[in-house]
Amino acid sequence: MIKTINLRRVLDQYNLPERFKAELAVLAAEHLHLPHSGTRVSGRALSQMSQRQRLQALAAMFVELRRVGGMAVTSPYSIRQKHIRWLVRHWVRPAPAVARVRRRLTPRPRPSSRSSTTWRRFARA
C-alpha cells in the first residue's frame, strides 16, 4: 500500500490557477511516490515528508516562473526547455553576499596607531 499525502491541501497554499493545480495533482499522484534513484535497494515508496517536499518545490518553481519570470505557464504539461533554462539562470545568477554589500557601503575605519606600528615592525623584519 502506498502512503500518499493530501495533494490538494499542499497545492492550495500556492497562487496557481485551479486548472493548473488539478493537472499538477494528477501528475503528482502518478509519480510523486516513485524514487528517483535507480540504485535504491528498497522497493518502498518515498516517505510522506519527501513527497510533500517534492510537491512544494515543484509548486514554488511554477509560481516563480509565473510571478518573477512573467511566463504565462498555464499547465504543467506546457513546460518547455526555455522555462527550465530561465529557472536555472535565475537560480545561479550571482547575488552578492550581505556581508560583502555591507563592507562596500560602510566606510573603512582608519587603522589605529598600535596596529600600524605592529604592521611596520613585521614589515621591517
Q: How confident is the model over 94-119, as pLDDT tens digits?
A: 666 777 667 766 665 555 555 555 44
| Portion of the chain with pLDDT greater than 70, in percent | 70
**What distance separates the 2 farthest-apart alpha carbons in the chain?**
77
Q: What is the mean pLDDT of the chain?
A: 76
9 vs 35, higher pLDDT: 9
Q: Does residue 72 sit within a domain?
A: yes
Q: Does residue 125 sit within a domain?
A: no
**Residues 62, 7: contact at Cβ < 8 Å?**
no
Instruction: Give me the domain span that covers residue 58.
Output: 1-35+45-93
> Within a 10 A sphere around the Cβ of 46, how many other Cβ atoms?
19
pLDDT over 90 at 81, yes or no: yes
Kindly report the pTM of this predicted structure: 0.64
> How many structural domains comprise the chain?
1
Q: Which of 16-20, 63-67, 76-80, 91-95 has the lowest mean pLDDT?
A: 91-95
